[in-house]
Structure 1
Amino acid sequence: MSDTDGKKTLGLRGGSRPGNVKQSFSHGRTKNVVVETKRKRVVVPKPGASKAGGAGGAPLGDPSKRPAGISDAEMERRMKALAAAKAREAEEDARRAAEEKAREEERERRRAEAEAKEREERELEEALKAKAQEEERQKREAEEAARRAAAEPAPAPEEKKTDAARAPKQPAAPLPSRRNDDGEREQRRGKGRDDNRRAGKLTLNQALSGGEGGRQRSMAAMKRKQERARQKAMGVAEREKIVRDVQVPEAIVVSELANRMAERVADVVKALMQNGMMVTQNQTIDADTAELIVEEFGHKIVRVSDADVEDVIQTADDKAEDLEPRAPVVTIMGHVDHGKTSLLDAIRNAKVVAGEAGGITQHIGAYQVKTDDGQLLTFLDTPGHAAFTSMRSRGAQVTDIVVLVVAADDAVMPQTVEAINHAKAAKVPMIVAINKIDKPQANPTKVRTDLLQHEVVVEQMSGEVQDVEVSATTGQGLDDLLEAIALQAEILELKANPKRAAQGAVIEAQLDVGRGPVATVLVQNGTLKQGDIFVVGEQWGKVRAMENDKGERVKEAGPSVPVEVLGLNGTPEAGDVLNVVDTEAQAREIAEYREKAAKDKRAAAGAATTLEQLMANAKANENVTELPILVKADVQGSAEAIVQAMEKIGNDEVRVRVLHSGVGAITETDVGLAEASRAPIMGFNVRANASARNTANQKGVEIRYYSVIYDLVDDVKAAASGLLSNEIREHFIGYAQIKEVFKVSGVGKVAGCLVTEGVARRSAGVRLLRDDVVIHEGTLKTLKRFKDEVAEVQSGQECGMAFENYDDIRPNDVIEIFEREEVKRTLA
């Protein structure tokens, strides 16, 4: 085979070559087999293939190292991607290097600017110091020369010589040049090293001993030190310390104490530390510690209490020339259903009764009425129900005249007597209006006679109390009533100062869904204007809007004018006093103080202070069953009256406990509290919102709605009565005497008895009496007559009795037979 053929066989075609293989078999047999062997194909690149690119001319790499199955186009794409990645990486490195260089240049620039600025400030400070020293030296020399001239007009030659010799020793003032500054700086550095000013950190001992430590004194401190040295050299006494009266409350912050003494905070902290109190300027100290510090600094302490925050409320008396006539405030009082609201309705020609549930007034209402003569009268309509005694009492406190309404067909009733007592306690004049005079059974003479029993003597009975017969239905006597009110007001000469800060009383308060907390305020003095900042009880606010009794928006309200005020931060209590203050901070501070005082008072009232009290309370409440309830009402006065009514329900065994009372709709929070306490929710003229209803249904919380106080009180009484344990009453039905005692196998001792009185029953209870002393009480195991088990044995008959689990029976013992009866109890 030639070389050409070999190349052709090996290089291009890669043909197979024959060969011999010797196979071995068992038993020593062998066989030669001819096989073909194939060689791996080797691809040889064409000349110039490594230099020639693809379409773009990119190098394709070494073909011998290229992976199998990669085409030229794919190889070209990969090479381009690699080149692009290297280019991007190079650009990124160059960009980062440029940014780093720019940042380094910026840092160098800022450092240079800071150093230049610091150097300029230092040079300026040194120049100022040098100038100050020069001026001080010149001033000191002038003062020294003046003092010597004044003391010795003609100095001796020797003294002049001494002065002249001493003069050159004064240091010359350096000029504010850079060379002098550098030299002085070096001198100051050396002096600083000598003074050991930068020796190390400031320690507590160094601070307490007054050492400078490592801190550098400020320019102001340097000037103060130089001023003290100059005054000492001149012999001038130090400025006399100003003694101040320092007001110190029960607790005060250290920085505030230093401010009130006009002392440095650091000095006060240092004094406290020297007294063993390690405190900072932001910590609070008590009044006793503050008094010690104040006296140590030479001041006088003035103890004040937290209640002094209310001193900002104006309490000064008005001058006579500032007073102007005002409308009288008339309160309608009387027994329930005696026609108070109907009478007022007839006066003001507006139907009020129609809006009240069951015709009963549920709230305190305030209305203004103008008479035919043009005189304004302010009426307060108070509820007459017994549950509203507290609200009626508040009505008497803000009123000028009380109109006592008594029905001519009903005469004086319990609530009428209460109204008389409230009017007398408030020391206000009274006018008796005998209502329902148009009814056939009306007897006004009986009304006047009944009033005599309560020391109310009307004019027809030769007394001083005016009485008017009226009819709210027909309008009879209304003009006479208004005339009587006007006459009484004229006698009282009611006046107020409308030009001062307003003061008033809250007649009613409620939480309105759309308007927020709303208070019905009767202005008693001054003028309440829109935008005024006020504090009322534990709440405060800013008058956002005001509405009169007709629902009209007004900008201001003068004395004796009732208005609804919007803008409170919470719902006040009925009867709270409203005062206008200057700033919101004052109002907030007063409200917070009152809230804290009320909280402390409630906590003190509800908590036992000694172990004996705790044990007494626990013992007293040991056998008392409580009925917990939640009360939500539409207005504050109703909620308070309901709570007071609940407190009166109960006895030594059962009582009603109001877990929470509030104003507004029943919410999920109320339902959650009721569920946790297993208490029902009583809603008075309010309803639960949707989420609260759903939650109540899921949790099984009972919500009851009421619109009349009678029903709510009666239902709670019935529920509380159900908690009373039934009373057990015993009825004696018979007596038996034991004649003989027998032993019966399987039964035990059996008493042979004679029923001496009444009847003996198997189901009844028995007591064993020995010498008229009860030695056993239990039940019968068996009751037999002869050999038969019987249910009862009549008097005069003999029987056999065996006691359950008791065998100590003897002849002549007496057996008392009785039955128990459970009787349900109710609360009165």
Structure 2
Amino acid sequence: MSDKDGKKPLGLGGGRPGQVKQSFSHGRTKSVVVETKRKRVVVPKAGAGATGDKPRVTPESAAAAVAASSRRPAGLSEAEMERRLRALAAAKAREEEETAQRAAEEKAREEERERRRAEIEAKEREDREREEALRAKEEEDARRTREAAEAAEAEKAARAAARRDETTARAGAAAGAGAGAAARTPRKPASPAGQTPQDRAAAEAAAARAETKGVSATGPRRSSPGSDRDRNDRDARGKTAGRDENRRAGKLSLNQALEGGEGGRQRSLAAMKRKQEKARQKAMGGAMRAEKQARDVQLPETIVVSELANRMAERAADVVKALMKMGMMVTANQTIDADTAELVIDEFGHNAVRVSDADVEQVIDTVEDKTEDLQSRPPIITIMGHVDHGKTSLLDAIRKANVVSGEAGGITQHIGAYQVTTESGAVLTFLDTPGHAAFTSMRARGAQVTDIVVLVVAADDAVMPQTVEAINHAKAAKVPMIVAINKVDKPQADPQKVRTDLLQHEVVVEAMSGEVQDVEVSAKTGLGLDNLLEAIALQAEILELKANPKRAAQGAVIEAQLDVGRGPVATVLVQNGTLKRGDIFVVGEQWGKVRALINDKGERVDEAAPSVPVEVLGLNGTPEAGDVLNVVDTEAHAREIADYRMQAAKDKRAAAGAAITLDQMLAKAKADENVAELPVVVKADVQGSAEAIVQALEKVGNDEVRVRVLHYGVGAITESDIGLAEASRAPVIGFNVRANAPARNAANQKGVEIRYYSIIYDLVDDIKAAASGLLSAEVRENFIGYAEIKETFRVSGVGTVAGCLVTEGVARRSAGVRLLRDNVVIHEGTLKTLKRFKDEVKEVQSGQECGMAFENYDDIRKGDVIEIFEREEVERKL
């Protein structure tokens, strides 16, 4: 076969050259010689095509193929050919391994699918069996209900038939008697059909049963569209249709099973029980429905909607819906008043019980202790007396420890609580209160928690003002007193004078035929200490002090402070019960959980019995000294009580500030205009010291100047204290505390003065001195002379000049003068001129004559007296 130009077509012969004609633009052509190569054809072995499998190539077969091949591609060495064949064999082997692995994986997947399919079919079978069992149970319950209804109807029909027969019998008897019948037959009259009443009742009952089943007594009854049977049939068909709809259609696939099935979550057993109970109640006509329980709901002045729902055991959404129907658009977190809440409670069928906010404190147990639970407790002894009369030294001698050296200036700054065991084994709890007048409130708190007061009076100083205060506190608290006459070792000691002075304050000691014990002691030498402890033990025995250690703890806060590292720390004296680690308590406006208890020796203890003083850690804030600590059950109760007390205190302060009329406010503002104030910021180490300092500073001042405490607190001086002081231009007073680094830097930048003190005397004296600087200076007049006017002259350019004789003292040009006429002051002013002869002089001595002219005043006459005086400013002090 040839093409149009007679040339042979391009062939694919092995290695023979051929020509190809190329065409170019403009009709140009070119013939190109092309060499063709024979294509290698791989022929499979015999039998491979029949099976359809690929031949397995091994190194041996590859070598055989090489040996059998008579031809090898040109330019390919035998080594290269062998290497290629080996690579081909290795690739074939890998392919076979991968094929085998894929087959194994596919087989495993198929087995897993079969297993899951079997599980799903078993679950379906189980569900069908459960549904059939439930359906059978429902049918059985419906049958029983139906039979019970039939029996009730039959019984009702029988009773009605019996009543009709009885009525008929009575009527027949009456007719027979009227007709003059001789005897009454024993059987009741037969019915018109010849039936007895019993037979007729049975027939009527059977008819009622047949009617219930849809068949009359005489034969089948045609069912109307609204008949009971049709209704029952329709209900049955509806239930069957519902079950058919709920049943899965078709076979469940694996993906559907893994995704949770076509119906989502399956019904739980509880849901099925609820459904069955609903069906049973519906069949019984709703007669088995449980009645709603009415509750007593405690209702405070205000309540949150969610809390109201919780107390009624209702859903919050339902309560919100009820409030919206009343026209109140509220949420579950909003607060409503008690009247609205009462309407809601009535709406839901509950009973509202009005309670006051103060009722939250009823959680605190006020347990009446049984006599068999009471046990003896150590007495609590408070040492009182005037400053520097040796109270702490006396306690030091009893404790055999040095306490005084730890107090600044040898003065007790805080209440100390210590337990002492005497040689006889008696345990005594001592409270050491400061004696300075500034600590009156602390000493009063000490008297409130004490059982016995030891009044320390120095034999060389007798009764002093703070001694009288201590006596009054002890009498007010109705606490027995023991007088310890201290410092009897001094040469000037006079114990008898102490006893006599005490008589003025109605304290009659035993030495003066009274009832108050008195003991002469010396804290320095230890004289009489044994007698004092015996007197205390005797007094405690008379009091018969007992407490119940098995109840919830109750105690009093002796002192409170903010400790760096430990947080708020309160020194608590347990009065009743046992305070344990882990107890939840409320104290004043604070609450907490006992994290640790530390006794007076600094040791950690797990519990504190009655009359034991301990430091309590774990408060959420610093309480006030004197607050009462009560243990409660839960943190919620403690927090609720603390919040209520805090709000009550805030309202009380607000009411105290608001309880003033407009006239009073204006009068106070007008009075304050003339009063100079010295503002200060006070920070102390403990609450008692801060209160005492504030009370002392409030007493500093008079009608012209006063000290105003802007803020006082417990703990280190902080940057916020500096900011407050800067705004009011006030100094910051630190009592046994220091400023932290940010506060010091802020004070240096803003020019705020920080003053540190450790003794209250120095603090009060410095504040007095600073307040005295605000006082206006006192002006005093010193009379230095008198002059009598002998003659008056009129001088041009000067005015009226008086010719005077200095009769007393001296007349000075710079002094003030008053003109007296008949001993009445008619003018006060200054001198314009003072001349001796014709010269201006500074002063004129007594007995000399001079000329005087008044500044801006000319009405002077002969015989008037001029009084000459000088004014002097004297600095005042508080």
Regarding TM over 0.5, the answer is: yes
AA of the residue aligned to 2:150: A
1:618 CA drift (Å)? 1.4
2:150 aligns to what? 145
Secondary structure at 1:585 match in 2: helix
Range moving further from structure 2, 503-512 or 242-251: 242-251
Shift in CA distance, 264/223, structure 1 to aligned 2, threshold 3 Å: farther
1:824 aligns to what? 875
1:356 aligns to what? 407
- Find the aligned partners of 2:781 and 2:426 in 1 and give their Cα distance: 72
Question: For residues 694-727 of structure 1, what are the alpha-carbon distances to aligned partners after superposition, in whole Å with 9 as ceiling and x for unaligned?
Answer: 3323332222222221111111111111111112
2:487 aligns to what? 436
1:174 aligns to what? 237
- Find the aligned partners of 2:291 and 2:321 in 1 and give their Cα distance: 22
2:3 aligns to what? none
Does residue 308 in structure 1 map to residue 359 in structure 2? yes
2:601 aligns to what? 550
Gaps of 5+ in 2: 1-29, 31-123, 159-200, 216-222, 248-270
Does residue 728 in structure 1 map to residue 747 in structure 2? no
1:417 CA drift (Å)? 0.9
- Find the aligned partners of 2:828 and 2:816 in 1 and give their Cα distance: 8
AA of the residue aligned to 2:777: N
- On the 8 A contact 1:248/1:304 being kept in 2, the answer is yes
Does residue 289 in structure 1 map to residue 350 in structure 2? no
- On the 8 A contact 1:496/1:526 being kept in 2, the answer is yes
Secondary structure at 1:621 match in 2: helix
Shift in CA distance, 180/689, structure 1 to aligned 2, threshold 3 Å: closer
Shift in CA distance, 134/616, structure 1 to aligned 2, threshold 3 Å: farther
- Find the aligned partners of 2:752 and 2:531 in 1 and give their Cα distance: 55
Shift in CA distance, 238/755, structure 1 to aligned 2, threshold 3 Å: farther
AA of the residue aligned to 1:703: I
1:801 aligns to what? 853
Question: For residues 50-81 of structure 1, what are the alpha-carbon distances to aligned partners after superposition, in whole Å with 9 as ceiling and x for unaligned?
Answer: xxxxxxxxxxxxxxxxxxxxxxxxxxxxxxxx
- On the 8 A contact 1:331/1:396 being kept in 2, the answer is yes
2:767 aligns to what? 716
- On the 8 A contact 1:254/1:281 being kept in 2, the answer is yes
Shift in CA distance, 764/536, structure 1 to aligned 2, threshold 3 Å: same
Question: What is the TM-score of this pair, normalised by structure 2?
Answer: 0.68
Does residue 589 in structure 1 map to residue 640 in structure 2? yes
Name the count of aligned residue pairs: 669
- On the 8 A contact 1:174/1:180 being kept in 2, the answer is no
- Find the aligned partners of 2:411 and 2:135 in 1 and give their Cα distance: 92
- Find the aligned partners of 2:245 and 2:415 in 1 and give their Cα distance: 88
- Find the aligned partners of 2:490 and 2:865 in 1 and give their Cα distance: 71
1:148 CA drift (Å)? 2.8
- Find the aligned partners of 2:822 and 2:211 in 1 and give their Cα distance: 136
- On the 8 A contact 1:734/1:755 being kept in 2, the answer is no
1:410 CA drift (Å)? 1.3
- Find the aligned partners of 2:849 and 2:543 in 1 and give their Cα distance: 90
- Find the aligned partners of 1:737 and 1:293 in 2 and give their Cα distance: 99
- Give the alignment of 1:195-594 within 5 angstroms: 242-594=293-645
Secondary structure at 2:237 match in 1: coil
1:328 CA drift (Å)? 0.7
1:635 CA drift (Å)? 1.8
1:327 CA drift (Å)? 0.7
AA of the residue aligned to 1:340: K
- On the 8 A contact 1:248/1:301 being kept in 2, the answer is yes
- On the 8 A contact 1:784/1:801 being kept in 2, the answer is no
1:492 CA drift (Å)? 0.7
AA of the residue aligned to 1:401: I
Shift in CA distance, 175/363, structure 1 to aligned 2, threshold 3 Å: same
AA of the residue aligned to 1:705: Y
1:346 CA drift (Å)? 1.2
Secondary structure at 2:706 match in 1: strand
1:177 CA drift (Å)? 6.0
AA of the residue aligned to 1:666: I
Shift in CA distance, 793/286, structure 1 to aligned 2, threshold 3 Å: farther
- Find the aligned partners of 1:815 and 1:222 in 2 and give their Cα distance: 120
1:252 CA drift (Å)? 0.7
Question: For residues 336-393 of structure 1, what are the alpha-carbon distances to aligned partners after superposition, in whole Å with 9 as ceiling and x for unaligned?
Answer: 1111111111111111112222222111111111111111111111111111111111
- Find the aligned partners of 1:146 and 1:780 in 2 and give their Cα distance: 135
Shift in CA distance, 180/594, structure 1 to aligned 2, threshold 3 Å: closer
Secondary structure at 1:546 match in 2: strand
AA of the residue aligned to 1:751: T
Shift in CA distance, 244/616, structure 1 to aligned 2, threshold 3 Å: farther
What's the Cα RMSD here?
4.1
- Which is greater in Rg? 2
Shift in CA distance, 266/779, structure 1 to aligned 2, threshold 3 Å: same
1:676 aligns to what? 727
AA of the residue aligned to 2:405: A
Secondary structure at 1:396 match in 2: helix
2:177 aligns to what? none
- Find the aligned partners of 2:861 and 2:277 in 1 and give their Cα distance: 116
1:751 aligns to what? 800
- Find the aligned partners of 1:228 and 1:445 in 2 and give their Cα distance: 97
1:790 CA drift (Å)? 4.8
AA of the residue aligned to 2:428: L
- On the 8 A contact 1:739/1:751 being kept in 2, the answer is no
Gaps of 5+ in 1: 1-46, 48-119, 185-217
Question: For residues 448-506 of structure 1, what are the alpha-carbon distances to aligned partners after superposition, in whole Å with 9 as ceiling and x for unaligned?
Answer: 11111111111111111111111112211111111111111111111111111111111
- On the 8 A contact 1:470/1:478 being kept in 2, the answer is yes
- On the 8 A contact 2:499/2:509 being kept in 1, the answer is yes
Question: For residues 601-626 of structure 1, what are the alpha-carbon distances to aligned partners after superposition, in whole Å with 9 as ceiling and x for unaligned?
Answer: 23333445542332233123221111
- On the 8 A contact 1:127/1:176 being kept in 2, the answer is no
AA of the residue aligned to 1:167: D
Shift in CA distance, 151/794, structure 1 to aligned 2, threshold 3 Å: farther
1:330 CA drift (Å)? 0.9
AA of the residue aligned to 1:483: E
Secondary structure at 2:673 match in 1: coil
Shift in CA distance, 245/183, structure 1 to aligned 2, threshold 3 Å: closer
- Find the aligned partners of 1:343 and 1:425 in 2 and give their Cα distance: 25
2:743 aligns to what? 692
AA of the residue aligned to 1:459: E
Secondary structure at 2:463 match in 1: coil
